[in-house]
């Protein structure tokens, strides 16, 4: 997976089965990735990246996170033509297959990066995953893709420490629950709070051997580019430097954009580009560039498409702090920001950064 000059490539995973997981009128529907993939094709990015095949995740890897009873219940529901796991989370007739491929695609991308076949990547698959618990799907999520991939890296990829960064506007409660007592995973989450699913208080830091390896950054509505920049610079960077990850996985939710209909944050596309640039710099410095994104939320279709586009431009090296311009048809947020000073002080104290 190198180009003609032997340069390691940026990889992506996509399979059209994700289009079969859809429900008319639901915010998490096939149109999310349809428009995104069309934009990436129009801008010529897909042709510059290596396509990693999505295959169904194996039952062994799936069961490291989810109970066999839950997996079987999803399969049976899909075979009956579909239904709901909860009021928010639907299953269509091919949703089970799509969910297996979404998790399997991310595992395949992580494998390609760990085996040196790609330098970084983005799993452009649905359904999302970070809310899914061991025995329960919720919050539009069926299987927890990022947790499954982290377990794969630890169990089979020769990795001892994984950093998971979740910047979705909703707390990744399923991911937190999976690694609550696990010192090999540092879970860092920025999210609107209090908001769905109600978890992610700053005092939730893990337990047992994993105490201190959960860092929640619960944000009041209205935090935007300045606040997120400070959080990544003053909190995430020193935590990552202390933890020394060998792989960084990103639950990339783009629903903290100021125009997203399901939340109240004020990030712009430029703000999202900065987060991607920071994570790339972090991976380059700490873990030989090993960085893999996976799609979570984002429900303003144009904001989602351009956020993914700019993220991939960062991974490809087109968009750095020194060169390139962020593609942003929506512009900056015109409203003032909620400050994060007090929260940062609290978190620096809790996580022994002062």
- Out of 66, 130, 131, 300, which one is annotated catalytic? 131
Contact 141, 131 (CB under 8 A): yes
- Provide the CB-side half-sphere exposure for 30 (13 A, CA): 14
| CA pair distance 77, 97, nearest whole angstrom | 12
- Provide the CB-side half-sphere exposure for 74 (13 A, CA): 27
Nearest to 311 by CA among 8, 49, 110: 49
- Provide the CB-side half-sphere exposure for 193 (13 A, CA): 20
| CA pair distance 310, 328, nearest whole angstrom | 9
3-state secondary structure of 25: coil
Annotation marks residue 300 as catalytic: no
Number of helices (H), then strands (E), belonging to the chain: the values are 11, 10
- Provide the CB-side half-sphere exposure for 330 (13 A, CA): 21
The residues assigned a catalytic role are 131
């Amino acid at each position: 997976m190198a180009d003609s000059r032997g340069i390691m490539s940026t990889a992506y995973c996509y399979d059209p089965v994700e289009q079969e997981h859809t429900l008319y009128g639901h915010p998490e529907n096939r149109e999310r990735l349809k428009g995104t993939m069309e934009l990436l094709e129009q801008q010529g990015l897909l042709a510059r990246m290596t396509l990693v095949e999505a295959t169904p995740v194996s039952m062994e890897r799936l069961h490291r996170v989810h109970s066999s009873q839950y997996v079987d219940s999803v399969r049976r529901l899909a075979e009956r033509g579909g239904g709901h796991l909860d009021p928010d989370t639907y299953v269509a007739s091919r949703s089970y297959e799509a969910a297996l491929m979404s998790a399997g695609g991310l595992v395949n991308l992580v494998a390609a990066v760990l085996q040196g076949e790609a330098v970084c990547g983005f799993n452009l698959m649905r359904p999302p995953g970070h809310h899914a618990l061991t025995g329960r799907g919720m919050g539009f999520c069926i299987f927890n893709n990022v947790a499954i991939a982290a377990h794969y890296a630890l169990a089979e990829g020769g990795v001892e420490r994984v950093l998971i960064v979740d910047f979705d506007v909703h707390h990744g409660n399923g991911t937190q629950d999976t690694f609550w007592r696990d010192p090999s995973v540092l879970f860092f989450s920025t999210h609107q709070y209090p908001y769905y699913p109600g978890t992610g208080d700053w005092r939730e830091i893990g337990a047992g051997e994993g105490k201190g390896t959960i860092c929640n950054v619960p944000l009041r509505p209205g935090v935007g580019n300045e606040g997120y920049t400070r959080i990544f610079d003053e909190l995430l960077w020193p935590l990552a430097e202390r933890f020394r990850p060998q792989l960084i996985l990103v639950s990339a939710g783009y629903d903290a954009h100021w125009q997203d209909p399901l939340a109240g944050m004020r990030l712009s596309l430029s703000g999202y580009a900065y987060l991607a640039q920071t994570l790339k710099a972090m991976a380059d410095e700490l873990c030989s560039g090993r960085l893999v994104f996976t799609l979570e939320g984002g429900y303003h279709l144009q904001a989602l498409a351009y956020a993914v586009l700019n993220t991939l431009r960062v991974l490809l090296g087109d968009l750095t702090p020194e060169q390139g311009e962020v593609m942003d048809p929506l512009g900056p947020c015109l409203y003032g920001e909620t400050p994060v000073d007090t929260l940062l002080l609290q978190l620096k104290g809790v996580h022994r950064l002062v």
